[in-house]
């Protein structure tokens, strides 16, 4: 038995956390089969390790496989090759250990804000009193307490995304998967939501995998940014964001911020050129 295995036998959670990055995407390839049997390679051998509690951001040209990659981690699709591990368990289907927030609003329209946030807890049969405490806590943290009885159709886009975030967090997932969650919001609301997300991320120490095409957003939020190539999506470059936290959009004119932005724009520009030839 090696050291990790020995440790794991004694203190399973601690050992798993201490020895392995939270999320490991290993040599993952994804092919879609089109009508007529033709295969399209959406993702071509991507490997990414996201350490515990890290905020990882994926950027890349449209159609490069960002959403597909998130679906794979969510267990909503299966890789054609390669493996995805969360801690030391292999992803082989959806699970409550991954919380998802997508760009399109995915709330249950027939449930109130409170019931939406409570949904996963109820399904997992968390006792009513505990459930209520958890729900109240996340409603407060996301600024939704006054709206707990509202239905999704009564809410603005930003408020709906708050509910989606609260709902994801209420399940205490190991990782949050976010696919352009603020992409449909106006810039003022987006900025408010970015601040809110940073606050809850710092408070709850979650691992996050976040997709965006907004480069300022990527630099504002991410510890690391993974730049993908045009389809078939490969990992073009991994950039560690050297900007200290707390961060704010006031920093967009700082030389460090501009340097990272220039680097990403350059990488993406080359991708679009390659695609045209
Ligand atoms: P992104 O999120 O980066 O814009 P997607 O992951 O949505 O990219 O798509 C990657 C590629 O796979 C695109 O070329 C898209 O057309 C294709 N694709 C996505 N979903 C399917 C599907 N269900 N069947 C066939 N092709 C798909
Ligand atoms: Mg997408």
Average pLDDT of the residues in 74-82: 96
Considering only CA atoms, which residue is closest to atom 4 of ligand 1? 63
* pTM score of the predicted model: 0.91
pLDDT at 5 over 80: no
User: Which has the closest alpha carbon to 215: 262, 182, 250, 154?
Assistant: 262
Question: Any idea which ligand is nearest the CA of 102?
Answer: 2
**Could you tell me if 122 and 203 are in contact, meaning their C-beta atoms sit under 8 angstroms apart?**
no
What's the confidence (pLDDT) of residue 103?
A: 87
3-state secondary structure of 204: helix
DSSP 238: E
Mutate to test the pocket of ligand 1, among 35, 38, 43, 63 (most ligand atoms within 8 A of CB): 63
pLDDT at 30 over 70: yes
What's the confidence (pLDDT) of residue 272?
A: 77
Q: Which atom of ligand 1 is nearest to the CA of 68?
A: 6
Average pLDDT of the residues in 193-218: 96
Half-sphere exposure for 235 (CA within 13 Å, toward CB): 19
Q: Which atom of ligand 1 is nearest to the CA of 61?
A: 3
For the sheet containing 98-102, what is the strand order?
98-102, 175-179, 207-211, 55-59, 224-228, 235-240
pLDDT at 186 over 70: yes
3-state secondary structure of 99: strand
Average pLDDT of the residues in 167-196: 96
Strands in 34-152 per DSSP E = 39-50, 55-59, 81-86, 89-90, 98-102
Considering only CA atoms, which residue is closest to atom 10 of ligand 1? 65
> Is the C-alpha dihedral spanning 219, 223, 224, 230 positive or negative?
negative
Please report which helix (H) or strand (E) contains residue 224, including its range.
strand 224-228
Average pLDDT of the residues in 53-73: 96
Distance 57 CA to ligand 1 centre (A): 18
Confidence of residue 254 (pLDDT cuts 50, 70, 90): very high
Question: Any idea which ligand is nearest the CA of 44?
Answer: 1
Sequence-ordered list of residues with C-beta below 8 angstroms from that of 270, at least 6 positions apart, any chain: none
Please give the Cα distance from 164 to 180 (Å, whole number).
13
Confidence of residue 101 (pLDDT cuts 50, 70, 90): very high
Pocket of ligand 1 (CB under 6 A): 32, 34, 40, 42, 60, 62-68, 231
Considering only CA atoms, which residue is closest to atom 12 of ligand 1? 42
Please give the Cα distance from 116 to 110 (Å, whole number).
9
Q: Which domains does the chain carry?
A: 3-97+173-276 (3.40.50.300)
What's the confidence (pLDDT) of residue 11?
A: 54
């Amino acid at each position: 038995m090696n050291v990790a295995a020995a440790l794991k036998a004694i203190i399973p959670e601690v050992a798993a956390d201490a020895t392995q990055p939270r999320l490991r995407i290993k040599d993952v390839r994804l092919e879609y089969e089109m009508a007529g049997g033709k295969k399209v390679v959406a993702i071509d051998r991507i490997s990414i390790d996201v350490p515990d509690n890290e905020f990882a951001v994926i950027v890349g040209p449209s159609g490069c496989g960002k959403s597909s990659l998130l679906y794979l981690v969510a267990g909503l699709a299966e890789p054609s090759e390669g493996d995805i591990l969360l801690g030391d368990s292999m992803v082989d289907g959806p699970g409550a250990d991954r919380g998802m927030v997508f760009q399109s609003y995915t709330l249950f329209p027939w449930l109130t804000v409170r019931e939406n946030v409570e949904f996963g807890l109820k399904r997992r049969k968390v006792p009513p009193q505990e459930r209520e405490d958890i729900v109240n806590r996340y409603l407060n943290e996301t600024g939704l307490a006054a709206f707990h009885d509202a239905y999704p159709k009564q809410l603005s886009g930003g408020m709906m995304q708050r509910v989606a975030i609260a709902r994801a967090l209420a399940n205490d997932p190991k990782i949050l998967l976010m696919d352009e969650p603020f992409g449909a919001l106006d810039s003022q609301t987006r900025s408010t939501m970015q601040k809110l997300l940073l606050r809850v991320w710092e408070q709850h120490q979650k691992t996050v995998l976040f997709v965006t095409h907004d480069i300022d957003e990527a630099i504002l939020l991410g510890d690391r940014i993974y730049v993908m190539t045009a389809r078939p999506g490969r990992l073009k470059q991994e950039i560690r964001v050297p900007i200290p936290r707390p961060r704010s959009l006031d920093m967009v004119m700082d030389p460090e911020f501009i340097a990272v932005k220039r680097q990403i724009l350059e990488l993406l520009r080359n991708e679009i050129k390659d695609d045209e030839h």
